[in-house]
Chain A
């Protein structure tokens, strides 16, 4: 944060007053905006009892909970499979055999360049899979490929002396990987892995588009019910905080792990950048971490 304060001087009394004025003005604008939205909500009758009482019904609550359960189930499967798939692909990319390396590179680059939704639709429409299978398979292919890159860069980022020392002790490549490089890399990679899992959790909502009965689907069912006066806005107001909350919790976990790692002397040998969505920029390098 020292760099951001370099953008302006430590404010004196007059500047502080001016800033307070700007602050007041912007708060006023925000409050006005919120008030306008609330007014719109009231004037279009979004807070009428007819639209909100359905949420006290047991059936509706169960519908929402089943949807949430299905979302979490898809996420669980997708997380486990993409970690496994990513590990396999990363092993392939680090292989000593050229053919295996080429094939895994091709797979990784292709699936990172394709929209997840295209893969999900392909599996759903062309291969006629069940919605859950299609969703999990699509998420696995995409997130597995991204995770493979994370794993690979993690292993590569362990100080070269570590691997060399292990080889000098007469360890075989598998031993060097298993006992020396991977344990150190995993610690450093953990935040990046969790951030990628947040992406997977967010993308489970794509299941809605292939009629997988997840959280959003349950919401849509309730929202399009004429008996309850089409409670669309109430549904959004209930679903979004839960969805966003879950993702935030996971993001926060990633940040927490990252902060802990920074104080941990065991991870000094490796530094892993967060994963990026489908980098096709071959000649481009990320700016060095500061």
Chain B
């Protein structure tokens, strides 16, 4: 217990860092994921190809490798940003591939009649997708997006190893100060549970209010 009370600000900073990474990377992942999903069902062949390549490559890239390439590689091009921004970029791009797949499978659950009706009213592809299909698809993809974002929160631990302030990184100074390492990790675990359980609570709420009744 002492470990937590003595170092409340350290733990607080770590938790805030993890939350910050999760929120910003989630926003990036959601935007990119929806755009890529739209690309993947678009009538233009080259856009479909871009979407497919994006998803296939990123889904099969180890996140550590992506971090390695982004955090240590981009500065070689003269692109020097704070590590936190690099971490958000890597996490967001990686997760967007999974969001894209979730959204695409959600689009497939919308009854064909919806798209057909929209078309027969003379709607264009962006209108059909944006006004008719995606809003309905969104309701059925709330649970898979929720679990993807929980995975993102857990993956943000990797950022700690690339000198970004977050929860897992807290163990290092505490270890040097000589605190009980087991308890240090117990409180880190509790921190992660707080983050992941909050995300799942938010998504349960969303599911309850917006989800498709089945």
Contact = CB atoms under 8 A, between A and B. Distances in A.
A44 B189 CA distance: 43
A125 B204 CA distance: 35
Contacts of A9: 119
A203 B43 contact: no
Given A26-B47, A40-B77, A118-B188, A281 B143 contact: yes
Chain B interface secondary structure, helix, strand, loop or mixed? Answer: helix
A220 B69 CA distance: 11
B119 A122 contact: no
A202 interface: yes
A161 interface: no
A7 B133 contact: yes
A190 B20 CA distance: 38
Given A40-B77, A125-B175, A283 B112 contact: no
16 contacts: A6-B116, A19-B45, A22-B47, A23-B45, A23-B47, A44-B77, A113-B193, A113-B197, A114-B193, A115-B192, A117-B161, A122-B185, A233-B73, A278-B154, A281-B146, A283-B208
Contact of A277 (B62, B69, B125, B151): B151
Interface of B: 41, 43-47, 50, 56-57, 59-65, 68-69, 72-73, 76-78, 105-110, 112, 115-116, 119, 124-125, 128-129, 133, 140-144, 146-148, 150-151, 154-158, 160-161, 168, 171, 175, 181-182, 185, 188-189, 192-193, 196-197, 199-200, 203-204, 207-208, 211-212, 214
Interface of A: 2-4, 6-9, 11, 19, 22-23, 26-27, 30, 40, 44, 46, 113-118, 121-122, 125-126, 198, 201-206, 208-209, 216, 219-220, 223, 232-233, 236, 239-240, 243-244, 247-248, 251, 276-288, 290
B62 A233 contact: no
A199 B163 CA distance: 24
Contacts of B181: 125-126
A218 to B, nearest CB: 12
A278 B62 contact: no
Contacts of A19: 43-45
A116 B146 contact: no
Contacts of B143: 279, 281, 284-286
B189 A46 contact: no
Contact of A126 (B151, B157, B182, B211): B182
A192 to B, nearest CB: 15
Interface centre among A4, A198, A244 (most CB of B within 10 A): A4
A278 to B, nearest CB: 5
B68 A282 contact: no
Given A7-B125, A30-B50, A208 B68 contact: yes
B43 to A, nearest CB: 5
Contact of A236 (B45, B73, B125, B182): B73
B158 A125 contact: no
Nearest to A113: B196
B200 A8 contact: no
Contacts of A6: 112, 115-116, 119
A244 B119 contact: no
Given A27-B46, A277-B154, A284-B207, A205 B64 contact: yes
